[in-house]
Structure 1
C-alpha cells in the first residue's frame, strides 16, 4: 500500500524546480519523482507527456518552452484541485500566512541586529571564512563567480584546496551535536540574509566561502562523524528525519554503520564482563579448595608449594590463607 501524497511538500519542491538551473534542476526533478513515488504516482499522472513537451494543440500548452521540466506546473494545480477540491484556496491561504511569517521574521532580524545594514554585515565566523577564502574567489560581472573553480551553490564536490583552507580557517566540529549546531547557524544566517534582501538577485545570500563551509559541515554531520553512543546514533537518524526530505540510501548508510559498530562494541563489552565473571568465579573456587586442603588433617601438613601446585595458585596465596586460618582458629 502506498503512502498518501504529501501535496504541500510536492508543491514546495515544484517551486524549487521552477527556480533551479543546471544540476539543481535535475536534483529538484528527482525529488519531485521521489515524492510522487511515495504516493504511488508518476509525472505522467500530473499531466500528459505531450503536454510537458508542448505538443498539444491548445494555446495553454503550445506556447510553453518544450525543454522546461516545470511546464506541468499549471496542470499540477488543476490536477490537485480535481483530486482535493479547495486545493487552490488552501494554497492561497498558506501563501498568505507564509508571507505574514516572513514579514514578521524580517522585522525580528532587524530588531536583532539594529538595522538592515547591520544584519547584512558578516558575523565573526563569516568574516574568518571569507578572509581565508578570498584568494580563491574569482569575480565575474561584479559578482563572486566561483571558489577555486567550483560554485558551492551547484552540485559537485569541493576542490581539495578549498577544503584545506576552510579547515585551517575554523576547526571542524568533532561531534554530531556540534556539527548540527553549526549547520543550524548557517541555515538561520542564510534565512536572515534572504529576508533582508527579499526580491534581490540570488547572489545576495551566504557567500561562496560560507556556503562551502556549510556543505562541509553538513557532509561531516551526515557521513563523516561517527556515533560513539546509542544517543548519537539516534541523534543522526532524527536529524535526517527532520531535514524535510526523504533520506536517501546513501544518507542512511552512516546511521546503519553506527548501529553495527555500536552493536559490535556491546557484544565485546558483554564478552569482557562474562570473562571477568568467569575469572572471578575461578579464583573463588581455587581459594575455597586451598582452604579445604589446609583444613583437612590429611593434607594440612603439605608444604605451601605442594598445595599451590595442586590447586593452581601461588605459594604466597597458600601461605596467606594458612596464616589467616591459624589466626582465626
Structure 2
C-alpha cells in the first residue's frame, strides 16, 4: 500500500515492499556511485514513510526470521545509564527544534495566507505536472526511464522545455534552484515527512543537471557554480566523489575559458587595452564576490586602484 497524502504531507503507512525491492536492487547493483547513493536516499524515504529505519525496512524483505524489530529499542536507557541527563538533553533539543519549526510555520501562514497555499503547486510545477503526465509509470522515480542522478530523459527534456522556461545559463539555473528549494523548505516546515511529487523531483533533477553541465560564460556563472558546489558539499546526503570530480573538471574548464576570453578581449595590436575592456574586466572580478581588494584587482587588470574604486561605486549605485 502506498503512503497516503494529506495536504501535501505523506503519512506513515504500510511499507511499499515492491518498490523497496526495486530500490534495493539499484542500491546493490547501480552502475555508478551516484546512482547507488540516490537509490539509498530513496530507500530511506520509503522506510521513513512507514515509520521504520532503513535497516528495519530492508530486513523486512528477507522474511520475518531476520527482522530485528525495533533496532534502537533500549538505546535511550543505555545512554542515560552511561551519560546521566541524556534523555533530558535530547528532549530539550527536540523541543527547541519543534519550537523553531512552529515559529517558522507561523511566519509562513502570514506570508502565504493558508497551509493549503504552501502546498499548492507553483505555476512551474503545475505546467511540469501536465507536461510530464504521459511519461508516468510505477518505477522508482515515477517516470519512464528517468533516474534522478542522471537527469531527465531526452523526451522529458523536450516536454519540459515546451512547458516552462528552462534556464540556459548557470546563474539562471542557480536562481531557479534556489526558488525551488525555498518552496520545498516551506513545505518541510509544515510537514517534516513531506515527499515531493514526481514532477517536483524531475525539476530538481533537471536543475541539478544544468548546474553540473552548462558551460560558465561569465564570472556570474562561475560564482553561481561555486555556490552550487558549496550547497551540495554541505547537504545531508553527501555527494559521491565521482560527482565532485566532475564538478571540479567543470570549474577548471570554466576558469580556462574565462581567462582565455579575457586574454583575447584585452589584447590590442599595441599590446594595451581599451578603457571599456578594462572596465569589463574589473566588473567580472567584482562579480565573483571573492573579497578581492581594489589594489589586487587593479594589479590584475592593469589600471589604478582609484579606477577600480570608481567602478565599484558606480556598480553598487
RMSD of aligned residue pairs (Cα, Å): 4.8
Cα distance in 1 for residues equivalent to 2:267 and 2:67: 68
The equivalent residue for 1:175 is 169
Equivalenced residues, count: 225
- 1:119 equivalent in structure 2: 118
Report if the CA contact (8 A) 1:133-1:165 is conserved.
yes
Please tell me whether the aligned partners of residues 133 and 166 of structure 1 are also in contact (alpha carbons under 8 angstroms): yes
1:227 counterpart residue number: 216
* Equivalent of 1:161 in 137, 143, 155: 155
Shift of 1:96: 1.3
The question of 1:243 aligning with 2:235 is answered yes
Contact 1:136 1:148 in 2 (8 A): yes
Residue number in structure 1 paired with 2:311: none
User: For residue 132 of structure 2, what is the aligned residue in structure 1?
Assistant: 133
**Deviation of residue 187 (structure 1)?**
2.6
When residues 128 and 92 of structure 1 are mapped into structure 2, their CA distance, relative to the original with a 3 A threshold, is same
- Please say if residues 137 and 145 of structure 1, whose CA atoms lie closer than 8 Å, have aligned partners that are also in contact: no
Q: 1:216 aligns with which of 206, 210, 222?
A: 206
Aligned residues of 1:176 and 1:232 also touching (Cα < 8 A)? yes
Q: C-alpha separation between the residues in 2 aligned to 1:127 and 1:29?
A: 26
Preserved CA contact (<8 Å) 2:174 2:228: no
Give the conservation status (yes or no) of the 8 Å contact 2:151–2:205: no
Q: What is the TM-score with the length of structure 1 in the denominator?
A: 0.51
Work out whether 1:149 is the aligned partner of 2:149.
no
Taking structure 2 as the reference length, what is the TM-score of the superposition? 0.52
Q: Which residue of 2 aligns with 1:206?
A: 196
Give the drift of 1:108.
2.5
Give, in whole Å, the separation in 1 of the partners of 2:143 and 2:205: 16
SS of match in other structure, 2:216: coil
Report deviation, 1:157.
Answer: 5.6
Gaps of 5+ in 1: 1-17, 32-51, 54-63, 282-329
What is the CA distance between 1:213 and its match in structure 2? 1.0
1:98 & 1:179 partners in 2: Cα distance?
Answer: 31
Cα pair distance change 1:88/1:261, threshold 3 Å = same
- State the partner residue of 1:107: 106
Distance in 2, Cα, partners of 1:208 & 1:146: 7
- Once the two structures are superposed, residues 107-132 of structure 1 have per-residue CA deviations (whole angstroms, 9 ceiling, x without a partner) of 33322222233333322122221221
Out of 247, 257, 277, the residue aligned to residue 255 of structure 1 is 247
Distance 1:251 1:76, change over 3 A: farther
Please report how far the alpha carbon of residue 79 of structure 1 lies from its aligned counterpart in structure 2 after TM superposition: 7.5
1:187 is matched with 181
SS at structure 1 position matched to 2:238:
coil
Structure number with bigger Rg: 1
